[in-house]
Amino acid sequence: MKIIVGIDLGTTNSEISCLRTEGRPEVIPVEGETIMPSCVGIDHEGRLMVGRTAKNQMVANPEQTILSIKRRMGEKITLPLGDKAFSPEEISSFILGKLKSAAETYLGQKVEKAVITVPAYFDDAQRQATREAGILAGLDVVRIINEPTAAALAYEAGREEKQRILIYDLGGGTFDASLVEMENGIVEVRSSHGDTHLGGDDFDRLLSDHVALPFKKKYGIDLKSDLKAANRLWVAVEKAKRTLSDRPFATIREEFIVGDRHLDVEISREEYEEMIRPLLRKTMIAVHSCLKDAMFLPKAIDKIILVGGSTRTPLVARMLEDDMGIEPHHEINPDLIVAMGAAIQGAAMSGAKTKAILVDITPYTFGTRAIGEYQGRMTSDVYVPVIKRNSALPVGKEELFYTNYDNQQDILVEIFQGDEPLASENIFIGNFWIKGLSKAKAGNLILLNLELDVNGILKVTAKEKATGLARTVTMDTANKGTGTNLEEKRSNIESFLREDDDVEADGDDEGGGERDDGDVVLDKQGLINRAKSLRKRAEGMIPGVNEEDAAELTDLLEKNRRAIAGHDWGTVGRLNESLSDMLFYLED
């Protein structure tokens, strides 16, 4: 039985997990860490870097480093990387490809299928973009599930008693609140609410502004206007934010951050929490909207589960307990719980015996535009809901409409997402024409059917009842207006990786060896990039150390060069660690 992995494709970090037995899901390490930064970049020689290596070079090479790409999923944009430009889906595919490669190394087998999680409040375009990123990474995305739902699967799998659970999911870039009912292994989502642009990144921004302002007043220098200084500041405040989760004070100290100027600031947890309190209040509004949609009062909730690294801020738990009267739970690592739940769903879909069955919902209403009355006036902009939000997935609904005038032969079907009374006030999803209707008087019956699958992908069918004339369209909003199809994106990625491989071969004199399969190119590239960085540091240090240390460094460098030439990646990894340890000792 082939393993279906679970992937949490996060704004700040990403994780991959699998379930090989009926026990607990395993979180698969990437380069020795269970959490991989969702960061993509290229080094000064044009080589691709993904994960920790990309994040480590961010300060030195900010123009060639991309962070928080999840916030741009579904947008019709491209971002420059080297001499090419990539869509958010393509950038995300590099992250997924790295996770896939790490899983194949860990499991000793090909990884072809995955369950990928998304925020519950991701719209159709964002879900389509996530699925496309998986395809570009060489994965068959068998299911897209909501992050809070995955967390509930991981936390409550196998518990028999009936419980109502509030999932509070605050990540790096998104927030979701979901109400889940669980009984006899059935996990049913009752309602979801959230904000796809609220998370830990916003906390970092507020903290950066707080630190940068007094520096500007003192020295007349805006740290945020200098890209390298801004990135150093971002790294420093992110570290301080994590410190404040456990300690009452954190120091931000960066020497020579601009010219000969130093940054040295102490931040208290109390100051930080006052900065982010307005944003956390927004999350509480979403929590109450979630409860209202499910028609529950706070006292009906049995448990609150915290998900996402940003929930480590103590104020989050305090606000929830003060407001709901329940102490939140975080027994499972909030950074890993979503990937673990996705792995449980993947195991269930592969035929393995699992202890939970998922019933997910759509957090959005989908409908169409029609002629009707609004505030006492006739308008052609009335919004008619067809699938209501919080409907269990999969769902199909059909509504009856009528032609507007005699012998009307064409109808424009327009689909929107939202709950506002006017169609133009909702999010436009897509449209299509149905042409060639029979010549009939006004009032010819037209059936409009909307089907939303378990991945949140929408299929629309319009049919003339009298003749059966119909047209069906899948609303692929991720590509709308971009002029770039999936094959073009795949070709763009492949050409980039080929160029990357050519640069590697020229720079390392590794000709004569066969090129590795594309499935492992990202993992291999990370090892090579690290070896190059270590080599530069070592070569710069050799003239200044004693003869014995110089000989040992030279020996390690030569062994590493031979291991790279022989494509012995396990040995390269071990030698990289040996070099890193020795350099740390000598530099200290």
pLDDT digit string (tens) for 164-207?
Answer: 899 999 988 889 899 988 877 777 888 888 887 888 889 999 99
Residue 487 resides in a domain? no
Domain extent, residue 464, equals 366-475
Residue 40 resides in a domain? yes
Calpha distance 131→486 (Å, rounded): 11
Strands 113-118 and 4-8: parallel
Q: Where are the alpha helices (DSSP H) in 175-313?
A: 200-219, 227-244, 269-294
Calpha distance 576→526 (Å, rounded): 11
**Residues 251, 340: one domain?**
no
Of 172-176, 481-485, 487-491, which gets the smallest average pLDDT?
A: 481-485
Calpha distance 147→339 (Å, rounded): 9
Yes or no: say if 538 and 586 are a contact pair by the CB < 8 Å rule. Answer: no
Extract the tokens encoding 528. Answer: 């090579």
**Residues 101, 206: one domain?**
no
**Residues 66, 179: one domain?**
yes
Calpha distance 491→355 (Å, rounded): 41
Of 15, 55, 70, 123, the active-site residue reads: 70
**Residues 32, 155: one domain?**
yes
Of 15, 90, 156, 169, the active-site residue reads: 169
Of 338, 337, 452, give the one whose Cα is nearest residue 390. 452
The CATH number covering residue 377 comes to 2.60.34.10
Residue 226 resides in a domain? yes
* Residue 477's pLDDT band (cuts 50, 70, 90): very low
Query: Which has more pLDDT, 523 or 412?
Result: 412
Residue 157 resides in a domain? yes
Residue 355 resides in a domain? yes
| Domain final position from 336, 359, 382 | 359
C-alpha separations of 51 from 41, 115, 336, 426 in Å: 9, 20, 16, 37
**Residues 380, 298: one domain?**
no
**Residues 226, 287: one domain?**
no
pLDDT(518) > 60:
no
pLDDT(506) > 60:
no
| Domain final position from 250, 275, 300 | 275
Say which DSSP state 361 is in: B
**Residues 444, 428: one domain?**
yes
Of 104, 123, 147, 504, the active-site residue reads: 147
Sheet bearing 458-464, strands edge to edge: 395-402, 445-452, 458-464, 470-474
The CATH number covering residue 216 comes to 3.90.640.10
pLDDT(481) > 70:
no
Calpha distance 478→126 (Å, rounded): 7
Annotation says 169 is catalytic: yes
pLDDT(108) > 70:
yes
Calpha distance 361→263 (Å, rounded): 48
SS3 state at 587 = helix
**Residues 392, 373: one domain?**
yes
Residue 414 resides in a domain? yes
pLDDT digit string (tens) for 277-296?
Answer: 999 999 999 999 999 988 88
Extract the tokens encoding 448. Answer: 């409009």
Annotation says 524 is catalytic: no
- pLDDT, residue 58, reads 82
- pLDDT, residue 515, reads 36
| Count of domains observed in the chain | 4
Region of 18 (left: φ > 0; alpha: ψ -120 to 50; beta: rest) is: beta
Residue 494 resides in a domain? no
pLDDT digit string (tens) for 13-51?
Answer: 999 999 887 667 899 999 889 999 999 998 877 888 999
Annotation says 147 is catalytic: yes
The CATH number covering residue 137 comes to 3.30.420.40
Residue 480 resides in a domain? no
Yes or no: say if 152 and 341 are a contact pair by the CB < 8 Å rule. Answer: yes
**Residues 324, 345: one domain?**
yes
CA distance between the termini of the chain: 50
**Residues 234, 301: one domain?**
no
Calpha distance 156→341 (Å, rounded): 10
Extract the tokens encoding 561. Answer: 């060069």
**Residues 188, 303: one domain?**
yes
**Residues 242, 291: one domain?**
no
| Domain final position from 359, 390, 425 | 359
Calpha distance 98→55 (Å, rounded): 14
- pLDDT, residue 357, reads 56
Calpha distance 105→193 (Å, rounded): 38
Query: Which has more pLDDT, 456 or 477?
Result: 456
Say which DSSP state 329 is in: B
User: ω before 394 within 30° of 0 (cis)?
Assistant: yes
- pLDDT, residue 316, reads 94
Helical axes 486-508 vs 521-541, angle rounded to 10°:
30
